[in-house]
Structure 1
Amino acid sequence: MKKSTDILFYFVMLLLLASCTSGRWVVKDEDAVDRSDYEILEQKKFLEVSDTLSPENPVLTLDVKSHTTYQFQQKMLVQRNIQDYRLRPGFVALGLAGAAASFYAANSSRFNSGSAQSLTLNTVGVLLAASGFANLKPVGDPRPVGEERYLENTGTVIETDTVNIQEDEPTPISASVTYKGRIVFEEDLKEILGGHLQIPLAQGFNDLQLTNRDPGSFEVEVTFADSTYHYSYPVSSILEPYAQVTTELTELRSEPSIHPENVLADLTRGSQIRVDTTVDEQWYRVWYGISENYIRRDDAQLIWRSTNFAGNEEVVAVPRVPFGNIDVESNIPVLRETKPNAQALIITNENYDEPLSRRENTHRDGQLMEEYLQKSLGYESSNVHHLTDVQQPDQIYRQIDIISDAVNDSTELFVYIGGYGEIDNGQELYLKSVTPAAGTSARDVPLRAVFSRIASLPDGQTWIVSDIDFSRTLPENFTESEQETLLRSHTSILTEDPGTVWVTGSQLEEPSRLYRSSKGEDKKHHIFPYFFARALQQNRTSVSRIYDLLRQNISYTSRRLHERPQQPMILGDRSVSFTE
């Protein structure tokens, strides 16, 4: 009895362990495509643009690709699944009950132990017990274990795909870039390495030095595998606009307006600075470092180049030198006591527009005259009248009328005029007015009329000091004698009476030049007013001694800095002096 029970126990335990899960192969797809078993029927290679052009990356990149037609084998695909099971309690109980009855009868006294009847009943008991445990219930869906295999072929399928060719392609290729019919770049290659063709564009276009506001488009033509590819791109996709300074200096400002307080630095001729946008007809908004600033459009031309172009595009910024840091702006001597009856009129025109360029440092020249009049010669600040960027003659006439109310026979009158001049028909001299604000008109200032009004004022002595550049409007074949006649016809109004002198910084045919060299020497003034102030700094108070210093230094300095002459002139009473 015990032996039969042990046999039943071990059998039941083995059955429990063996019947929890089972695995089997099932058909997943009768016509599955085996992509490892294929044949290439056709292959056609072509080029495709793979990246976007930009000024930071001005390289056209073309990838080699292929339209490839494959024939794949279709096969039956089977996969192996695992199924979980659990016992059915009713069947287990019924099987155990039948097994117990069979064991009881087999081991009762009715049958001899070991007889054929007893053995048969024990076997039946085991089978009944096993049948209760063997009747299992599936739990959940079968679980694939990731094991698959292909069986017999069932057919074929044809597919076309586009793939990248990343190997070296030994196919001849030619590329050319043209701009308005001009070849910018061309190259012939025997193969494409790594499946990529790169066409550099920036250097060729940098060499063109494009200056149009809208440079248009360029064309790219590539021949590969018996096909020709055409591409067209705007120049702005590879280049950016830069402002190239065309004047000696231009101010870099923090705001698009002319004001002494918003100047950050001076940019020298040839400097190139990236343009963010055009603000209006007067200003470019530019990037200097990481900040947005402004320069005048009339002081620069637009040029297109790539961001990483290394050449003469460096920005050369001259730090702004505050007034008082130049040698003649400091150590100003006191030459006499306060002279309350002295009157001064200073006229400086600097901010000219096209076709003239801005006349740099002209306002600073006027400020220099103010400093010496007040600190050295005793002029009261209320008696020094400074007009800047005159647009109409009436502005000057009104100021002379104001001065006329304060002068008498003992008044010392000092007039300084700086700007561009014009010679009209070889007969009249004008001070060029600056471009007025929108909606208004400008009229040049006739110097004959200004001198006539000055001559009508009662005074003790009059100084006319001018740094006017007439050289741009000098008539052709205008002789020296004609120039002298023209000057004397204007100064005769002033010099009919003694005590009036006119000192001018250059001949009519000579430009009035800045005290600046290409090697970095910069006095921030024009040569003539610089040396006029230097003469006063050296305690020269008579017009004759002042003129001696001007004559000795102006021409020499102009030739040294600019390789051109500049001769000052003196007309009128040479006995005039600030201390007599």
Structure 2
Amino acid sequence: MRKFSYILLLAFFAGGLWSCTSGRWMVKDRSAVDTTEYKVLEQNRFLQQADSVNPQSPTLQLNLMSRTKYQYSQRLLAERQIQDYKLQPGFMALGLTGAALSFYGANSSAFSSGRSRGYSLTLNAVGVLLTTASFLNFKAVGEPRPTGEERYLRNVGNSIRVDTVHIQSKPNDKPSVTIQYGDLTISEQQLTINNGQLTVPLAEPINELNLEGSDPGTVGVSVAFEDSTYSYEFPISDVLQPYANVTARFSPLRNTSDDTADNIVADLVEGSKLQINNTSFENWYQVLYGIAEHYVAKDDAEIVWRPSDFKQEEQIKTVSRIAFGDVDVESNISILRGNHPNAIGLIITNENYASGNERMYAHRDGRLIKTYLNNAIGYSEEQIYELQDFSNPSEVSHILSEIRLAANEESELTVYLSGYGQISEGKNSTVSMLGVSTDTSSVQSAVSFRQILEQINTITSGQILIISDLDFSSSSQLKNYSAAERNRLLSASSEVLLDANPQSAVLFSSRLNQPSALYQSVQEDKKHHIFPYFFTKALQQRNTTLTDIYQYLQRNVSYTTRKLHDRPQDPLLLGNTTIDLQN
């Protein structure tokens, strides 16, 4: 009996250390796709856009793609797993205790009297069973560990999958490409797919349209390939870039969006094209000149569309700004007489008219005349009055009143007028000088040329010279007058002065129907109108009588205007032609 106790006790300690492992197959996925068993249901090729279209890359790029539809079998997927087990000490102790009691009852002498042999055998058998059961009661330890072994079991269904890939092969068929702008077909061609990609250039065919305007619309592209047609539409702004095309003969290029004389970098020649960077300014296009932002007046340019590789530097023609004194007539001024204390000058120049009608260099012309009055014929600078950009006739009356107070009956008076002129409507038509607040189709804020002369006539009875560089050519009333009637209008406007003062003369820069042109071309730019340039040139060459000056103007003004602008400009002198500016 003691022997059995030792055995059971040893078994208990050994069982506490006993563990084992076991492998088994578990269902991992009840509808796993078996990629080894499939069939192809459908396969086709198609084109797919690769990148967006932009002015830096103005091409439509289409990749050749393959789309394949597969049917795969779905099966139960089983996975083999390993599980660790260990005996449970509590159940083992209970089992071994029961086994010990069974053995004790079967073999102890305390219970042997009166007990049959079969009863002992039964208790011993129960002890053996309890001992065995104690060692078979295992508990799983930890999580099952997959071995990586898998196997597909029975089929449970089918799965459909579509695979799309970019293929590099070169198909035999060439896609047909059509490019349209509205109803106009601008390109039809067959292109080759190379390295799995079709490249459709858009900039070149669209550029040939020479599109203009802020909203040029869209372009359509149609590609026919293997019984399929692919259609695309792009705004022109995705393909080309906007440029400001200068339409004015000359347009100032400014470094700020202000209409001042101090911010002008250069003068752009008609036809120059600069890439537009911003159109949101009310009156300006912000353009790129080099790498810097500059500004061009919207009234002087139109929007055109060109490719990003457009050679802008070859399309920009400028005339540099020249400081006053650098033009030949602005220096080397001949001194014709000394200071004349009774000499009074008046210079009225209108340059900054309503948008689109600027009279370029009018103020510089006035400065030129002032310089010659002061340096050549002895007018004191304090005795030269100036009025720029008047918008109300009262401004002219006011400055003439100031001169009237400073003058006497023997005063010499020279008046220079520069701006736009207008012929008024009505039975008794008159010529007028326009104020800057109007355009050239209105007489509002204009001052009558006759009224100016009437007021001048009340200032002095001495020598009076009126130099009129007024441009009447845009007047809408000119078509109603013959050449003789136009000359009569100028004479009639001047009579109020010429008839009253025999020492007076009026010198017009041109006839009524002729523009007063700029001395400016691509090859040469004098920064002045032709008439004041040659008037001062005559003085520079020491021509002092009005007869000599007028003959000099007749020889040079019309010739130069025809040469530069292919149109006439004939000065007109009325009144006393014997006046000598040197006396």
Q: State TM-score, norm by structure 1.
A: 0.77
Distance 1:435 1:236, change over 3 A: farther
1:246 to partner: Cα distance: 0.9
Give the corresponding residue for 1:547. Answer: 550
Where does residue 352 of structure 2 map in the other structure?
Answer: 351
Is 1:168 aligned to residue 175 of structure 2?
Answer: no
Alignment match of 2:503 (pick from 488, 499, 504): 499
Report if aligned partners of 2:274, 2:312 keep a CA contact under 8 Å in 1.
Answer: no
Q: 1:36 & 1:405 partners in 2: Cα distance?
A: 113
Using the TM superposition, give the Cα deviation of residue 405 of structure 1 relative to its aligned residue in structure 2, in angstroms. 1.1
Distance 2:35 2:416 in 1: 94
- Counterpart in the other structure of 1:462: 464
Deviation at 1:38? 5.4
- Shift in Å, 1:264: 1.3
Q: Equivalent of 1:178, from 167, 177, 180?
A: 180
User: Is contact 2:319–2:525 with CA below 8 Å preserved after alignment?
Assistant: no
Confirm or deny: 8 A CA contact 1:266 1:317 kept in the other structure.
yes
CA distance in 1, matches of 2:390, 2:48: 62
Deviation of residue 73 (structure 1)? Answer: 6.6
In the superposition, relative to structure 1, how do residues 558 and 225 fare at CA in structure 2: closer, same or farther (>3 Å)? same
CA drift of 1:516 comes to: 2.1
Question: Structure 1: which amino acid aligns with 2:448?
Answer: P
Q: Deviations over 1:455-511 (max 9, x none)?
A: 221142111112222222362363322122111101111211111111122222222
Q: CA RMSD in A?
A: 3.7
Shift of 1:211: 2.4
SS at match of 1:471: coil
Matches within 5 A, 1:464-479: 464-473=466-475, 475-476=478-479, 478-479=481-482
Would you say 1:380 and 2:380 are equivalent positions?
Answer: yes
What pairs up with 1:110-125 in 2 under 5 angstroms?
none
Map 1:309-348; keep pairs closer than 5 Å.
Answer: 309-310=310-311, 314-348=315-349
Out of 537, 554, 567, the position equivalent to 2:570 is 567
Match in the other structure for 1:303: 304
Which of residues 444, 447, 452 in structure 2 aligns to 1:445?
A: 447
Rounded Cα–Cα distance in structure 2 between residues aligned with 1:392 and 1:448? 16
* Gapped regions of structure 1 (runs ≥ 5): 1-24, 86-138
After superposition, give the CA deviation of every residue in 1:132-168 in whole Å (9 maximum; x if it has no partner). xxxxxxx9999999x9998999788544335243322
Distance 1:536 1:143 in 2: 113
Aligned residue identity for 2:292? S
Kindly tell me: are residues 76 and 66 of structure 1, through their superposed partners in 2, closer, same or farther at Cα, counting changes over 3 Å? same
Query: How far apart are the structure 1 equivalents of 2:415 and 2:163?
Result: 84
Contact 1:219/1:233, CA 8 A, preserved across alignment: yes
**Distance in 1 (alpha carbons) for counterparts of 2:496 and 2:165:** 89
> Is contact 2:267–2:321 with CA below 8 Å preserved after alignment?
yes
Do 1:173 and 1:223's aligned partners in 2 also have CA atoms closer than 8 Å? yes
Contact 2:48-2:63 within 8 A present in 1 as well: yes
CA distance in 1, matches of 2:319, 2:396: 34
Do the aligned partners of residues 526 and 567 (structure 1) sit closer, same or farther apart at CA in structure 2, a change above 3 Å counting? same
Measured at CA, do residues 160 and 434 of structure 1 come closer, stay the same or move farther in structure 2, by a change above 3 Å? farther
SS of 2:195's partner is helix
3-state SS, counterpart of residue 194 of structure 1: coil
- Counterpart Cα distance in 1 of 2:436 and 2:530: 22
Instruction: Decide which structure has the larger Cα Rg and report it.
Output: 2
Give how far 1:235 is off.
2.2
Aligned residue type for 2:512: L
Distance 2:412 2:231 in 1: 79
Q: Secondary structure at the match of 2:397?
A: helix
- Report the TM-score when normalising by structure 2: 0.76
1:424 aligns with 2:417: no
Query: Is the CA contact 2:470–2:516 (under 8 Å) kept in the aligned structure 1?
Result: yes
Show the counterpart of 1:96: none
- For the pair 1:206 / 2:218, whether they are aligned, the reply is no
Shift of 1:269: 0.6
Distance change >3 Å, CA 414–CA 154, structure 1 → 2: same
Give, as a single letter, the amino acid of the residue that structure 2 aligns with 1:570: L
Segment drifting more, 398-407 vs 60-69: 60-69
- Read off the aligned partner of 2:44 and give its amino acid letter: K
Q: Which residue of 1 aligns with 2:366?
A: 366
Closer, same or farther in 2 for the Cα pair 1:379/1:577, shift >3 Å? same
CA distance in structure 2 between the aligned counterparts of 1:82 and 1:525, rounded to whole angstroms:
103
**Worse overlay, 225-234 or 65-74:** 65-74
CA contact (8 A) 1:434 1:442 kept: no
CA distance in 1, matches of 2:249, 2:310: 23
The one-letter amino acid paired with 1:463 is: L
* Number of residue pairs aligned between Structure 1 and Structure 2: 509
Give the direction of change, closer, same or farther, for the CA distance of 1:421–1:36 in structure 2 (3 Å limit): farther
Q: Hey, what does 1:434 align to over in structure 2? A: 436
Match of 1:60 in 2: 60
Paired residues of 1:400 and 1:453 also in contact (CA < 8 A): yes
Moved more, 531-540 or 509-518: 509-518
Contact 2:516 2:530 in 1 (8 A): yes
Distance 1:477 1:330, change over 3 A: same
SS, match of residue 295 in structure 2: strand
Tell me the residue number matched to 2:525.
522
Question: Is 1:486–2:489 an aligned residue pair?
Answer: yes
Q: Which residue of 2 aligns with 1:97?
A: none
Distance 1:82 1:395 in 2: 109
CA distance in 1, matches of 2:515, 2:226: 65
Q: Give a deviation string over 1:364-423, Cα, whole Å, max 9, x none.
A: 111111211222222232322222223222221221112111111221211111222222
In structure 2, relative to structure 1, the CA distance for the partners of 1:417 and 1:37 (3 Å cut) is: farther
* Cα displacement (A) at 1:248: 1.5
Unaligned runs of 5+ in 2: 1-24, 85-140
Q: Which is further off, 177-186 or 367-376? A: 177-186
What is the one-letter code of the residue matched to 2:366? Answer: G
Residue 175 of structure 1 and its aligned partner are, at CA, apart by 2.4
Give yes or no for contact 1:185–1:201 (8 Å, CA) kept in 2. Answer: no
Structure 1 match to 2:242:
241
Deviations 1:1-44 (A, max 9, x none): xxxxxxxxxxxxxxxxxxxxxxxx99988986565775432113
Contact kept in structure 2, 1:47 and 1:65, CA below 8 Å: yes
Q: What residue number does 2:406 align with?
A: 406
How far apart are 1:443 and its partner, in Å? Answer: 1.9
Q: Shift in Å at residue 237 of structure 1?
A: 2.1
Specify the alignment match of 1:192 in structure 2: 193
2:395 maps to 395
Question: What CA distance in whole angstroms lies between the structure 2 residues aligned with 1:541 and 1:142?
Answer: 121
8 Å CA contact 2:170–2:196 kept in 1: the answer is: yes
> Within 5 Å, which residues of 2 pair with 1:66-85?
66-72=66-72
Structure 1 distance, partners of 2:63, 2:179, is 18
**Structure 1 equivalent of residue 538 of structure 2:** 535
Matches of 1:371 and 1:153 in 2, distance apart? 110
CA distance in 2, matches of 1:158, 1:65: 23
- Of all paired residues, the percent bearing the same amino acid is 39
